[in-house]
């Protein structure tokens, strides 16, 4: 049931997140394809589905996502945006930590 | 109440379980009130951690001092014996201290979810007729006085008030109301279940295995909705036993959080509804590592998953609990063992927990072992009744003669049988009540709310079972029209609403609009997951609603109408 494999080189990081979201939602609900404009309720999702989706998306992208994020999103695009922001935050944090460990905090950029 | 009556030997086998040697006699010395049971630990281990709330650790001394101080405030505002105090606070140390304060006034608490739709909160408040409500700041549209706990929480209150004398107590006893739980009713209004102090204390101070003695105190996450008896389990369970309740920030216990809590806070015991237990096992089977005890239940357990859990975690005790909220947390429990996976009727729900007795009745008489009847429960655990509904209380809590002894029982509406060893096995529902993802749901309640929406002609709410697992798994048993209320499967996964509109205009009352209306009137777990408009509701040959036909329309490829 995996989504057709699109080369990710030409797409932005946010598009990657959206692709992961759509493929995981399809995998968990056993239906699809869904559109980013679908709300989680349009696809018949339950709170347990939300937990599974957030776990799997989180695992794939290396972030922690609370199920409320999905349950409270207007649509899947909104959810993907929050996930994307969380991933960027984490990357920033990782970079910061890496910089901190090299002990050259003042030499940013 | 005639608590402590034990069946005479020689009664029909299986009617009443023989008293177990480890069961303490009812009325034995010991606290009979929830707050007394907690106060003990404030005296004996004042510095032990009672609550963890984010980075805040609240020791027993502070929790108790804050509750004393806040009880004085509430008493000044009219809270006292015989009263019911709604508490509308998010899960927090402040919430627990406020509830304890309510109990110390002699009143009963009703912990309400501040996220509930305003209309539901209002209807609940009318039933409670409170003198005072505990809430954060002012609540829009809330009638009557509101008291807000200081923003600094229990630690601040404790510093300010420590040593302030406690007002007169002792106006209440173990049979006095302690808590009100709201559960799905069939009339479109939730039922207010009034539970006495002894229902909680008899279980957690009575030798129930997961909480029983030993040098290790229970440390449990509190993740269940605060309005349910899951909160009783996760909060009073540890606090009555000198343990720690770890209050979760969000509404869902994720496996990563569980791991972190085991590691950081020493969480050793956890409660998970069967659906969540199954989910965690599927997604992250090692997240239980480090626990001593996993309690699950509320729905039929999946045998392959239980079997996998036992293989993977031989050192963790797994308990299957059963009990409607009217029996406060659990009526029976079973320490699950490997042989249970071979029982044809599924993992047994076990034997009565302390303070409860179980009777399987057919036509008001005890059934023979192996014979299926209605599961009825008696004893300290049984609720005092439904607030504001004497007629329903009389119907659901009748006094029946058991072995010649008049005994007040709660009729669960669940079907089951006891085996020759007195172990209870669950066998489905006698009515339409179902469990959906672990939540108790009366489809009639939702239907009543839908029918009241302007423009709706008729409707049916139908629970949907999980799709059969791909590959090897439990065989689907025919169509999804099993009316045994989840008795044939593993509970239900979602709720589908089918409705007809009063006008035939194609664009009248779209499913999205209906769903939005319902989200404003019902708590989230009662809002149907799938909403479909139908031209007609199909009937069977004998004129009954054809639920199987409705469910067939949900199958992939049959979606002719837009889902909401």
CA dist., res. B198 & res. B22, Å (int): 19
Most A CBs within 10 Å: which of B491, B519, B529, as the mutation test of the A interface? B529
- Phi/psi for B402 (5° steps) reads -120, 120
Q: How many residues does chain A have?
A: 109
CA dihedral (B203, B206, B212, B215) positive or negative = positive
Q: Does A85 touch chain B (CB under 8 A)?
A: no
Place of tokens 């009990």: B323
Cβ-defined contact of A55 to B563 (cutoff 8 Å): no
**In degrees to the nearest 10, what's the CA dihedral of B526, B279, A82, A26?**
-90
Residue A106 scores a pLDDT above 60: no
Q: Does B82 touch chain A (CB under 8 A)?
A: no
Chain A residues touching B493 at Cβ < 8 A: 46, 48
Cβ-defined contact of B563 to A44 (cutoff 8 Å): yes
Buried b / exposed e over A25-46, threshold 16 CB at 10 Å, is bbbbbebbebeeebbbbbbbbb
CA distance B131 to chain A (A): 34
> What ipTM describes this predicted complex?
0.76
Cβ-defined contact of B250 to A68 (cutoff 8 Å): yes
Summarize pLDDT for B115-125 with one digit per residue, the tens: 888 888 888 88
Supply the DSSP string of B291-315, one letter for each residue: -SEEEEESSPPPHHHHHHHHHH-TT
- Bridge partners (DSSP) of residue B365 are B362
Tokens of A6: 């699109």
Tokens of B285: 């089977």
Chain B residues touching A67 at Cβ < 8 A: 250-252, 254
CA dist., res. B142 & res. B145, Å (int): 8
- Pick the closest to residue B361 from B16, B126, B27 (CA basis): B16
Helix (H, G, I), strand (E, B) or coil at A14: helix
Q: Does B493 touch chain A (CB under 8 A)?
A: yes
CA dist., res. B422 & res. B419, Å (int): 5
The confidence score (pLDDT) of residue B560 equals 36
Cβ-defined contact of B276 to A48 (cutoff 8 Å): yes
Cβ-defined contact of B529 to A42 (cutoff 8 Å): no
The confidence score (pLDDT) of residue B492 equals 84
Distances (CA, A) of B269 to A5, B55, B320, B378: 43, 20, 14, 27
Q: Which residues of chain B have pLDDT under 50?
A: 1-27, 469-489, 557-564
- Bridge partners (DSSP) of residue B406 are B401
Tally of CA atoms within 13 A in the half-sphere of B428 that contains its CB: 13
Provide the 10 A C-beta neighbour count for residue B188: 18
What residues contact residue B375 under an 8 Å CB cut-off, 6+ apart?
Answer: B331, B358, B359, B360, B412, B414, B415, B416, B424, B426
Cβ-defined contact of A66 to B250 (cutoff 8 Å): yes
Distances (CA, A) of B72 to B63, B78, B279, B353: 14, 10, 44, 35
Chain B residues touching A55 at Cβ < 8 A: 254-255, 283-284
Chain B residues touching A52 at Cβ < 8 A: 279, 282-283
- Phi/psi for B427 (5° steps) reads -135, 25
For residues A83-90, give the mean pLDDT: 88
CA dist., res. B47 & res. B116, Å (int): 36
The confidence score (pLDDT) of residue B452 equals 87
Chain B residues touching A54 at Cβ < 8 A: 254
Tally of CA atoms within 13 A in the half-sphere of B275 that contains its CB: 25
Helix (H) or strand (E) holding B548: helix B547-552
Cβ-defined contact of A46 to B530 (cutoff 8 Å): no
Cβ-defined contact of B256 to A64 (cutoff 8 Å): yes
CA dist., res. B44 & res. B313, Å (int): 34
Q: Does A86 touch chain B (CB under 8 A)?
A: no
Greatest C-alpha distance within chain B: 73
The confidence score (pLDDT) of residue B484 equals 32
Helix (H) or strand (E) holding B63: helix B60-76
Tokens of A88: 């960027």
Alpha carbon B264 to its chain centroid, in Å, reads 28
Tokens of B84: 């019911």
HEC string of B472-494?
A: CCCCCCCCCCCCCCCCCCCCECE
**In degrees to the nearest 10, what's the CA dihedral of B361, B366, B367, B369?**
120
Q: C-alpha angle B131/B135/B139, rounded to 5°? A: 90
Looking at chain B, which residue has its C-alpha nearest residue A56? B283
Contact B479, B548 (CB under 8 A): yes
Most A CBs within 10 Å: which of B260, B490, B530, as the mutation test of the A interface? B530
Cβ-defined contact of B524 to A45 (cutoff 8 Å): no
Cβ-defined contact of A51 to B530 (cutoff 8 Å): no
Summarize pLDDT for B6-48 with one digit per residue, the tens: 333 333 333 333 444 444 444 456 789 999 999 999 999 999 9
The confidence score (pLDDT) of residue B283 equals 94
For residues A29-44, give the mean pLDDT: 82
Q: For chain A, how big is the Rg over CA atoms in Å?
A: 16
Q: Which one-letter DSSP state was computed for residue B335?
A: E
The confidence score (pLDDT) of residue B19 equals 40
Which of the residue ranges A9-18, A46-55, B170-179 would you say has the lowest mean pLDDT? A9-18
- Phi/psi for B311 (5° steps) reads -65, -45
Q: Does B260 touch chain A (CB under 8 A)?
A: no
What residues contact residue B313 under an 8 Å CB cut-off, 6+ apart?
Answer: B288, B289, B291, B294
Compute the count of residue pairs across chains A and B with CB atoms less than 8 Å apart: 53
What residues contact residue A80 under an 8 Å CB cut-off, 6+ apart?
Answer: A14, A17, A18, A21, A36
Cβ-defined contact of B255 to A31 (cutoff 8 Å): no
């Amino acid at each position: 049931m995996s989504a057709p494999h699109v080369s990710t080189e030409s797409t932005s990081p946010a598009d990657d997140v959206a692709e992961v979201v759509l493929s995981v939602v399809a995998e968990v609900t056993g239906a699809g394809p869904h559109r980013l404009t679908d709300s989680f309720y349009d696809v018949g999702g339950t709170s347990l589905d939300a937990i599974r989706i957030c776990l799997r998306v989180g695992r794939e992208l290396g972030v922690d996502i609370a199920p409320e994020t999905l349950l409270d999103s207007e649509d899947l695009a909104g959810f993907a945006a929050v996930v994307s922001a969380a991933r960027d935050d984490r990357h920033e944090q990782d970079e910061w930590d890496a910089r901190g460990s090299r002990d050259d905090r003042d030499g940013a950029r | 109440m005639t608590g402590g009556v034990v069946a005479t030997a020689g009664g029909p086998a299986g009617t009443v379980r023989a008293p177990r040697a480890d069961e303490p006699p009812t009325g034995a010395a010991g606290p009979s009130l929830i707050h007394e049971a907690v106060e003990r630990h404030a005296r004996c281990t004042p510095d032990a951690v009672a609550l963890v709330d984010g980075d805040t650790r609240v020791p027993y001394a502070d929790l108790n001092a804050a509750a004393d101080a806040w009880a004085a405030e509430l008493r000044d505002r009219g809270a006292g014996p015989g009263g019911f105090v709604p508490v509308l606070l998010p899960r927090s140390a402040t919430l627990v201290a406020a509830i304890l304060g309510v109990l110390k006034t002699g009143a009963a608490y009703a912990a309400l979810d501040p996220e509930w739709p305003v209309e539901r909160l209002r209807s609940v408040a009318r039933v409670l007729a409170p003198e005072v409500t505990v809430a954060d700041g002012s609540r829009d549209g809330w009638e009557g006085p509101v008291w807000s706990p200081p923003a600094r929480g229990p630690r601040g209150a404790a510093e300010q008030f420590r040593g302030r004398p406690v007002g007169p107590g002792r106006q209440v006893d173990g049979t006095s109301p302690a808590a009100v739980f709201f559960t799905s009713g069939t009339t479109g209004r939730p039922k207010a279940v009034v539970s006495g102090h002894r229902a909680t204390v008899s279980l957690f101070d009575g030798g129930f295995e997961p909480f029983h003695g030993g040098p290790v105190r229970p440390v449990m996450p509190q993740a269940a909705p605060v309005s349910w008896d899951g909160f009783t389990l996760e909060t009073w369970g540890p606090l009555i036993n000198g343990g720690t309740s770890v209050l979760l920030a969000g509404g869902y216990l994720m496996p990563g959080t569980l791991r972190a809590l085991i590691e950081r806070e020493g969480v050793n015991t956890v409660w998970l509804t069967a659906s969540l237990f199954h989910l965690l096992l599927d997604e992250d089977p090692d997240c239980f590592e480090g626990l001593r005890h996993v309690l699950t239940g509320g729905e039929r357990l999946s045998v392959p998953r239980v079997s996998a859990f036992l293989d993977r975690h031989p050192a963790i005790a797994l308990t299957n609990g059963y009990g409607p909220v009217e029996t406060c947390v659990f009526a029976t429990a079973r320490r699950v063992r490997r042989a249970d996976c071979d029982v044809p009727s599924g993992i047994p729900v076990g034997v009565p927990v302390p303070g409860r007795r179980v009777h399987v009745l057919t036509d008001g008489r005890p059934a023979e072992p192996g014979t299926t009847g209605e599961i009825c429960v008696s004893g300290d655990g049984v609720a005092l009744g439904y607030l504001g509904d004497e007629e329903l209380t009389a119907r659901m809590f009748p006094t029946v003669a058991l072995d010649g002894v008049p005994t007040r029982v709660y009729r669960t509406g669940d079907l089951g049988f006891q085996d020759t060893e007195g172990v209870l096995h669950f066998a489905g529902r006698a009515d339409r009540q179902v469990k959906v993802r672990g939540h108790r749901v009366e489809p009639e309640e939702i239907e009543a709310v839908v029918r009241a929406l302007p423009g709706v002609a008729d409707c049916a709410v139908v629970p949907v079972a999980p799709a059969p697992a791909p590959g090897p798994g439990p065989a689907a048993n025919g169509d999804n029209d099993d009316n045994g209320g989840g008795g044939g499967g593993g509970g239900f996964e979602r709720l589908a609403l089918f409705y007809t509109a009063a006008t035939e205009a194609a664009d009248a009352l779209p499913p999205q609009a209906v769903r939005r209306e319902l989200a404003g009137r019902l708590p989230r777990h009662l809002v149907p997951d799938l909403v479909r408009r139908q031209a007609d509701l199909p009937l069977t040959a004998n004129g009954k609603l054809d639920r199987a036909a409705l469910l067939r329309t949900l199958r992939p490829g049959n979606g002719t109408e837009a889902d909401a």
